[in-house]
Amino acid sequence: MKASRFLLRSALVAALGGLLFGFDTAVISGAEQALQEMFSATYESLAATFQNFGFLGKPGFWHGCTTASALIGTILGAWLTGKPSDIWGRRKTLFVLAILYLVSAVWSAFAWNWWSFIIARFIGGLAVGGSSVVGPIYIAEISPAASRGRLVALFQFNIVFGILLAFLSNYIIGSLNLGDAEWRWIFGVEAFPAAAFMMLLLGNAPSPRWLMTKGRDSEAHAVLRRLGVENAESELAAIRQSIDLDHHRTNEPFFRKAYLRPILLAFLIAAFNQLSGINALLYYSQRIFEMAGADASFARLQSVIVGATNLVFTMAAMAIIDHFGRKKLMLVGSIGYIASLSTVAWAFYTNHGGAIVLVSFMVFIASHAFGQGAVIWVFISEIFPNRVRARGQALGSFTHWFMCAAISWTFPMMVGKADAPGASQAGAYVFAFYAAMMVLQLIWVIVMMPETKGVPLEQIQQKLGIE
């Protein structure tokens, strides 16, 4: 019983990186329009400087830059964290990321100009990108196959819970009438969960699979026993065979034919995740609901409703992911995406806003939570061999955040301000594009995606044809 509690505690603490990931991602939705007003002179100046350089000469581009500044950090964090994770270990890397979350929150709250705010958000982005790599890897590597899906899905649950907390925090802070300091409080409150994450990590054990790659077999054996693995010796033997250090160096080239299939799978699931437009909704939820006719206060409340829907359906997916399977969840989610996004596009095109848009986005977020949201980090953490898992997770996370940055940066350029003429029509075309991308995702799931439910990590690589 003690061992199972330790496993659950370790997974929950690692998943707190996901809570901060979600909070950091969504919290800007409550402040982005205030930031647009506050930095408008800076945007105009930058646009004037680059007026002969196409889209660089548009103020909307620079506001997109502000919103996406954290995402530039996530791209680098996702790409660069894999190697430190292999060198220092998953737990120590998570601790460093916790420090970055804390620094970013405090710095953002006290930012004194546009550049200082950009830097602060960039640092937070490094932590988000790194967490999206290391958190799922750590949980996957400490979890038994039978419950791995549910335990890794704790990371996604915490992302969603963090998003809901961000929306709720924005709503509460917005109701306090804090004036010009409101946006500083919106970003500053993240310091509290960041500090808690940092302290709780001290009680976690290193990943046994990482210990094995370092030749620390006796320590790995002790950790497996502590995690409740009944036959630790046979588990160690399976891990040792999969790593096969005598024939495969842990620093061998990653982009090679042997890993082509998992590389394509990780790239495509991550790209489709963002081509649904999910982060356009999370980053610009208040703006989108105002485009549909809601006032600012009710728009924030609608964001909370969307966040709560996300949480409920993530919990439902977690309950069945190890029974229903990854592929079936993706099928259901893809169909829901297509139906809801098509309805949103129609509603904006015909100016039928209000309740139709809110209900459609609730279906959209439910489809995301039940499908892509629950599956992506579990699936990517499963499909690569031990020896390159960190680099595989980094590739998937890098793709995810690169696409996220592209979507978030371009959205305000395409739709403009919520009350701008033609914003609703522009929104229709944008969401129609997202719906078309989800048709392609559905085809990919049917044709290419394998099922990894209940398969031990060491057997998945055999299933994918990797020696």
Residue 297 banded pLDDT, cuts 50, 70, 90: confident
Give the percent of the chain with pLDDT over 70. Answer: 95
Average pLDDT over residues 197-208: 92
Token pair, residue 255, equals 């982009």
Please give the mean pLDDT across all residues of the chain: 85
Top-confidence residue, 247 or 67: 67
Q: What is the pLDDT of residue 422?
A: 59
Centroid of chain to Cα 406: 15
Residue 348 banded pLDDT, cuts 50, 70, 90: confident
Average pLDDT over residues 246-270: 79
Top-confidence residue, 414 or 348: 348
Token pair, residue 2, equals 């003690």
Token pair, residue 398, equals 């890098």
Q: What is the pLDDT of residue 1?
A: 39
Q: What is the pLDDT of residue 248?
A: 52
Of 282, 379, 363, 281, the residue nearest 330 (C-alpha): 379
Mean pLDDT lowest among 1-15, 246-260, 444-458: 246-260
The answer to whether the CB of 343 falls within 8 A of the CB of 287 is no
Q: What is the pLDDT of residue 136?
A: 84
Residue 419 banded pLDDT, cuts 50, 70, 90: low
Q: What is the pLDDT of residue 463?
A: 78
* Distance between CA atoms of residues 187 and 178, nearest Å: 13
**How distant, in Å, are the alpha carbons of 76, 207, 316, 361, 411 from that of 375?**
23, 22, 12, 20, 25
Mean pLDDT lowest among 125-139, 170-184, 404-418: 404-418
Average pLDDT over residues 322-331: 88
Q: What is the pLDDT of residue 189?
A: 95
Residue 271 banded pLDDT, cuts 50, 70, 90: very high
Q: Is the pLDDT of residue 123 over 90?
A: yes
Centroid of chain to Cα 105: 18
The answer to whether the CB of 377 falls within 8 A of the CB of 158 is no
pLDDT digits (tens, 9 = 90+) for 28-41: 888 888 888 889 89
N residues, the chain: 467
Residue 327 banded pLDDT, cuts 50, 70, 90: very high
Q: Could you give the count of Cα atoms lying within 13 Å of 209 in the half-sphere of its Cβ?
A: 27
* Distance between CA atoms of residues 69 and 64, nearest Å: 8
**How distant, in Å, are the alpha carbons of 36, 91, 345, 379 from that of 272?**
29, 29, 18, 14
Q: Is the pLDDT of residue 445 over 90?
A: yes
**How distant, in Å, are the alpha carbons of 103, 123, 156, 197, 460 from that of 97?**
10, 10, 17, 10, 29
Q: What is the pLDDT of residue 421?
A: 53
pTM (2 d.p.): 0.77
Average pLDDT over residues 3-13: 84
The answer to whether the CB of 453 falls within 8 A of the CB of 326 is yes
DSSP state of 58: -
Q: What is the pLDDT of residue 330?
A: 95
Q: What is the pLDDT of residue 310?
A: 84
Mean pLDDT lowest among 217-221, 296-300, 341-345: 296-300
Angle at 384 between CA 383 and CA 386, to 5 degrees: 130
pLDDT digits (tens, 9 = 90+) for 99-109: 999 999 999 99
Mean pLDDT lowest among 55-59, 138-142, 167-171: 55-59
Question: In 168-242, where do the E strands start and end?
Answer: none
Q: What is the pLDDT of residue 230?
A: 72
* Distance between CA atoms of residues 138 and 390, nearest Å: 10
Centroid of chain to Cα 36: 24
Q: What is the pLDDT of residue 91?
A: 92
SS3 439: helix
Q: Is the pLDDT of residue 181 over 70?
A: yes
Q: Which residues contact 39 (CB under 8 A, 6 or more apart)?
A: 62, 63, 66, 114
**How distant, in Å, are the alpha carbons of 27, 97, 400 from that of 380?**
26, 20, 11
Q: Where are the alpha helices (DSSP H) in 81-113?
A: 82-88, 90-109
Burial annotation 308-338 (CB, 10 A radius, 16+ → b, else e): bbbbebbeebbeebbebbbbbbbbbbbebbb
Q: For the chain, state the CA radius of gyration.
A: 22
Of 1, 455, 457, the residue nearest 226 (C-alpha): 1
Q: What is the pLDDT of residue 142?
A: 85
Q: What is the pLDDT of residue 285?
A: 77
Q: What is the pLDDT of residue 244?
A: 62
Mean pLDDT lowest among 4-13, 110-119, 273-282, 347-356: 347-356
Q: What is the pLDDT of residue 394?
A: 81
Give the percent of the chain with pLDDT over 90. Answer: 30
**How distant, in Å, are the alpha carbons of 268, 279, 282, 438 from that of 274?**
10, 7, 11, 10
Q: Where are the alpha helices (DSSP H) in 144-190?
A: 148-174, 182-188
SS3 content of the chain, % helix, strand, coil (to 5): 80, 0, 20
SS3 19: helix
The answer to whether the CB of 409 falls within 8 A of the CB of 274 is no
Residue 246 banded pLDDT, cuts 50, 70, 90: very low
Domains identified in the chain and CATH numbers: 2-463 (1.20.1250.20)
